[in-house]
Amino acid sequence: MKRSPRPRKTADLSDSVHRQLNLYALAAGAAGVGMLALSQPTEAEIIYTPAHVRLHGQLSLDLNHDKIVDYTISTFDLDNGVTYWFLNVLGANKRNSIASTESLFAAALPVGQRVGPKRSWNGPYLYMAKWSYYAYSHGLHGSGPWFNVQHRYLGFKFLIDGHYHYGWARLNTKMTGQGTDTVLTGYAYETIPDKPIITGKEKGPDVITFKPASLGRLARGSAGLAAWRSGK
Protein backbone atom coordinates (compact mmCIF):
# COMPACT_ATOMS: atom_id res chain seq x y z
CA MET A 1 0.00 0.00 0.00
CA LYS A 2 1.42 3.36 -1.06
CA ARG A 3 1.99 5.75 1.81
CA SER A 4 0.83 9.37 1.66
CA PRO A 5 3.65 11.92 1.58
CA ARG A 6 4.75 13.05 5.02
CA PRO A 7 3.45 16.57 5.78
CA ARG A 8 6.26 19.11 5.57
CA LYS A 9 7.11 20.72 8.88
CA THR A 10 8.08 24.35 9.23
CA ALA A 11 11.63 23.29 10.04
CA ASP A 12 11.88 21.67 6.59
CA LEU A 13 11.26 24.94 4.71
CA SER A 14 14.16 26.25 2.68
CA ASP A 15 16.07 29.35 3.72
CA SER A 16 14.70 31.23 0.70
CA VAL A 17 11.11 30.49 1.72
CA HIS A 18 11.83 31.58 5.31
CA ARG A 19 13.29 34.79 3.95
CA GLN A 20 10.21 35.41 1.82
CA LEU A 21 7.93 34.83 4.81
CA ASN A 22 9.96 37.28 6.87
CA LEU A 23 9.58 39.92 4.17
CA TYR A 24 5.84 39.35 4.01
CA ALA A 25 5.76 39.75 7.81
CA LEU A 26 7.54 43.08 7.40
CA ALA A 27 4.93 44.14 4.86
CA ALA A 28 2.10 43.10 7.17
CA GLY A 29 3.62 45.07 10.05
CA ALA A 30 3.74 48.18 7.90
CA ALA A 31 0.15 47.85 6.68
CA GLY A 32 -1.15 50.30 9.26
CA VAL A 33 1.03 53.07 7.78
CA GLY A 34 0.94 52.35 4.07
CA MET A 35 1.44 49.59 1.53
CA LEU A 36 4.41 47.88 -0.06
CA ALA A 37 5.14 47.33 -3.72
CA LEU A 38 7.13 44.08 -3.82
CA SER A 39 9.64 43.16 -6.51
CA GLN A 40 11.11 39.66 -6.26
CA PRO A 41 10.75 39.58 -2.46
CA THR A 42 12.98 36.54 -2.01
CA GLU A 43 15.94 38.68 -3.08
CA ALA A 44 14.97 42.00 -1.50
CA GLU A 45 17.39 43.50 1.01
CA ILE A 46 16.81 47.28 0.81
CA ILE A 47 13.68 49.12 1.95
CA TYR A 48 13.34 52.41 0.02
CA THR A 49 10.78 55.10 0.89
CA PRO A 50 10.11 57.95 -1.59
CA ALA A 51 9.24 61.29 -0.01
CA HIS A 52 8.76 64.99 -0.65
CA VAL A 53 8.63 66.63 2.78
CA ARG A 54 9.82 70.12 3.72
CA LEU A 55 11.59 70.72 6.98
CA HIS A 56 9.62 73.00 9.31
CA GLY A 57 11.64 73.34 12.50
CA GLN A 58 12.40 69.64 12.80
CA LEU A 59 11.67 66.39 11.01
CA SER A 60 11.98 62.92 12.54
CA LEU A 61 13.03 59.91 10.45
CA ASP A 62 11.83 56.36 11.10
CA LEU A 63 14.02 54.56 8.55
CA ASN A 64 12.64 51.05 9.06
CA HIS A 65 8.99 51.99 9.80
CA ASP A 66 8.88 50.41 13.25
CA LYS A 67 7.33 53.58 14.76
CA ILE A 68 10.60 54.35 16.57
CA VAL A 69 12.43 57.56 15.61
CA ASP A 70 15.96 56.88 14.36
CA TYR A 71 17.14 60.42 13.50
CA THR A 72 15.90 64.01 13.74
CA ILE A 73 16.90 66.73 11.26
CA SER A 74 16.35 70.23 12.63
CA THR A 75 17.21 73.89 12.31
CA PHE A 76 17.52 76.69 14.85
CA ASP A 77 18.69 80.29 14.87
CA LEU A 78 20.50 82.75 17.13
CA ASP A 79 20.16 86.52 16.91
CA ASN A 80 22.61 88.93 18.54
CA GLY A 81 22.50 91.71 15.96
CA VAL A 82 23.49 89.22 13.28
CA THR A 83 21.22 86.24 12.64
CA TYR A 84 22.87 82.81 12.62
CA TRP A 85 21.20 79.60 11.50
CA PHE A 86 22.24 75.99 12.08
CA LEU A 87 21.07 72.86 10.26
CA ASN A 88 21.86 69.67 12.16
CA VAL A 89 21.09 65.98 12.52
CA LEU A 90 20.64 64.00 15.73
CA GLY A 91 20.62 60.26 16.32
CA ALA A 92 17.73 59.09 18.50
CA ASN A 93 20.17 57.35 20.87
CA LYS A 94 23.87 57.59 21.63
CA ARG A 95 24.77 54.56 19.48
CA ASN A 96 23.15 55.86 16.28
CA SER A 97 25.90 57.47 14.19
CA ILE A 98 26.17 59.72 11.13
CA ALA A 99 28.71 59.59 8.29
CA SER A 100 31.02 62.56 8.91
CA THR A 101 33.73 64.71 7.35
CA GLU A 102 37.18 65.29 8.83
CA SER A 103 35.91 68.58 10.24
CA LEU A 104 33.08 66.67 12.02
CA PHE A 105 30.22 67.96 9.92
CA ALA A 106 27.63 65.48 8.66
CA ALA A 107 28.89 64.39 5.24
CA ALA A 108 26.87 65.38 2.15
CA LEU A 109 27.46 62.25 0.09
CA PRO A 110 26.92 62.12 -3.69
CA VAL A 111 24.93 59.35 -5.36
CA GLY A 112 26.62 55.96 -5.75
CA GLN A 113 28.66 56.06 -2.54
CA ARG A 114 29.05 53.01 -0.32
CA VAL A 115 27.77 53.58 3.22
CA GLY A 116 29.35 50.97 5.46
CA PRO A 117 31.90 50.24 8.19
CA LYS A 118 34.84 51.83 6.31
CA ARG A 119 33.34 55.32 6.54
CA SER A 120 34.09 57.85 9.27
CA TRP A 121 31.26 57.79 11.81
CA ASN A 122 30.47 60.29 14.52
CA GLY A 123 27.51 61.52 16.49
CA PRO A 124 24.94 61.21 17.68
CA TYR A 125 24.78 64.98 16.99
CA LEU A 126 26.44 66.73 14.04
CA TYR A 127 26.05 70.04 12.25
CA MET A 128 25.16 69.89 8.56
CA ALA A 129 25.57 73.60 7.75
CA LYS A 130 25.65 76.96 9.44
CA TRP A 131 25.19 80.40 7.95
CA SER A 132 24.71 84.04 8.88
CA TYR A 133 22.82 86.96 7.43
CA TYR A 134 23.79 90.62 7.84
CA ALA A 135 20.60 92.64 7.38
CA TYR A 136 22.39 95.98 6.93
CA SER A 137 24.46 94.70 4.00
CA HIS A 138 22.18 91.86 2.87
CA GLY A 139 25.22 89.62 3.10
CA LEU A 140 24.79 85.84 3.37
CA HIS A 141 27.74 83.74 4.52
CA GLY A 142 27.68 79.99 4.97
CA SER A 143 29.82 76.95 5.65
CA GLY A 144 29.45 73.21 5.94
CA PRO A 145 28.92 70.47 3.35
CA TRP A 146 25.12 70.95 3.36
CA PHE A 147 25.17 74.65 2.45
CA ASN A 148 23.02 74.97 -0.72
CA VAL A 149 23.22 71.45 -2.22
CA GLN A 150 20.97 69.28 -4.40
CA HIS A 151 20.50 65.49 -4.30
CA ARG A 152 22.97 64.82 -1.49
CA TYR A 153 22.79 62.03 1.07
CA LEU A 154 23.13 61.66 4.81
CA GLY A 155 24.71 58.32 5.75
CA PHE A 156 23.37 56.46 8.79
CA LYS A 157 24.57 53.65 11.05
CA PHE A 158 21.79 52.72 13.46
CA LEU A 159 20.53 49.92 15.68
CA ILE A 160 17.69 47.50 15.04
CA ASP A 161 17.22 44.85 17.74
CA GLY A 162 20.81 45.27 18.90
CA HIS A 163 22.37 44.98 15.42
CA TYR A 164 23.82 47.77 13.27
CA HIS A 165 22.21 48.58 9.93
CA TYR A 166 23.16 51.17 7.32
CA GLY A 167 20.90 53.67 5.61
CA TRP A 168 20.67 57.01 3.85
CA ALA A 169 18.39 60.04 3.46
CA ARG A 170 18.39 62.27 0.37
CA LEU A 171 17.87 66.02 0.76
CA ASN A 172 17.98 69.32 -1.10
CA THR A 173 18.93 72.48 0.83
CA LYS A 174 18.71 76.17 0.08
CA MET A 175 19.87 78.71 2.68
CA THR A 176 18.50 82.26 2.65
CA GLY A 177 18.30 85.32 4.89
CA GLN A 178 15.01 83.96 6.25
CA GLY A 179 16.21 80.45 7.10
CA THR A 180 16.42 77.25 5.08
CA ASP A 181 14.30 75.50 2.49
CA THR A 182 15.29 71.87 3.13
CA VAL A 183 13.38 69.07 1.40
CA LEU A 184 13.59 65.34 2.15
CA THR A 185 13.17 63.44 -1.14
CA GLY A 186 13.63 59.83 -0.04
CA TYR A 187 15.37 57.45 2.36
CA ALA A 188 16.38 53.79 2.59
CA TYR A 189 18.04 51.20 4.80
CA GLU A 190 19.67 47.79 4.40
CA THR A 191 17.74 44.98 6.11
CA ILE A 192 20.82 42.76 6.53
CA PRO A 193 22.91 43.71 9.61
CA ASP A 194 26.38 45.14 8.93
CA LYS A 195 25.89 45.11 5.14
CA PRO A 196 26.76 48.40 3.33
CA ILE A 197 24.18 50.27 1.28
CA ILE A 198 24.71 52.41 -1.84
CA THR A 199 23.41 56.00 -1.74
CA GLY A 200 20.59 56.56 -4.20
CA LYS A 201 19.88 52.88 -4.87
CA GLU A 202 16.10 52.68 -5.12
CA LYS A 203 15.46 50.16 -7.90
CA GLY A 204 16.43 46.58 -8.62
CA PRO A 205 15.65 43.02 -7.56
CA ASP A 206 17.10 43.69 -4.11
CA VAL A 207 14.82 46.67 -3.35
CA ILE A 208 11.35 46.94 -1.79
CA THR A 209 9.65 50.32 -2.32
CA PHE A 210 7.60 51.42 0.68
CA LYS A 211 4.78 53.77 -0.32
CA PRO A 212 3.37 55.64 2.69
CA ALA A 213 -0.35 56.35 2.67
CA SER A 214 0.53 59.88 3.72
CA LEU A 215 3.96 61.49 3.76
CA GLY A 216 2.55 63.79 6.43
CA ARG A 217 2.80 60.88 8.87
CA LEU A 218 6.50 61.64 9.28
CA ALA A 219 6.78 62.77 12.89
CA ARG A 220 7.59 66.38 13.59
CA GLY A 221 8.25 66.64 17.29
CA SER A 222 10.65 66.20 20.16
CA ALA A 223 10.57 62.39 20.19
CA GLY A 224 14.11 62.10 18.83
CA LEU A 225 15.54 64.50 21.40
CA ALA A 226 13.69 62.82 24.26
CA ALA A 227 14.92 59.34 23.31
CA TRP A 228 18.52 60.53 23.01
CA ARG A 229 18.47 62.35 26.34
CA SER A 230 17.09 59.29 28.08
CA GLY A 231 19.99 57.22 26.70
CA LYS A 232 17.79 54.61 24.97
For residue range 127-169, list pLDDT tens digits in order.
999 998 776 656 778 889 999 999 999 999 999 999 999 999 9
Average pLDDT, integer, range 166-193: 94
Predicted local confidence at residue 137, as pLDDT? 58
Question: What CA–CA distance (Å, rounded) separates 93 from 124?
Answer: 7
Rounded alpha-carbon distances, angstroms, from residue 144 to 87, 99, 113, 150, 152: 9, 14, 19, 14, 13
**Ramachandran area for residue 17 (φ above 0: left; ψ -120 to 50: alpha; else beta):** alpha
Predicted local confidence at residue 99, as pLDDT? 98
pLDDT at 220 over 90: no
Average pLDDT, integer, range 205-230: 56
∠ at Cα 18 (203, 155), nearest 5°? 40
Predicted local confidence at residue 12, as pLDDT? 38
CB count in 10 Å sphere of residue 58: 19
What are the pLDDT digits (tens) for 64-106?
Answer: 999 999 999 999 888 776 778 999 999 999 999 999 999 999 9
140 or 3: which carries more pLDDT confidence? 140
pLDDT at 174 over 50: yes
Question: Residue ranges of the domains in the chain?
Answer: 35-229
Average pLDDT, integer, range 23-42: 39
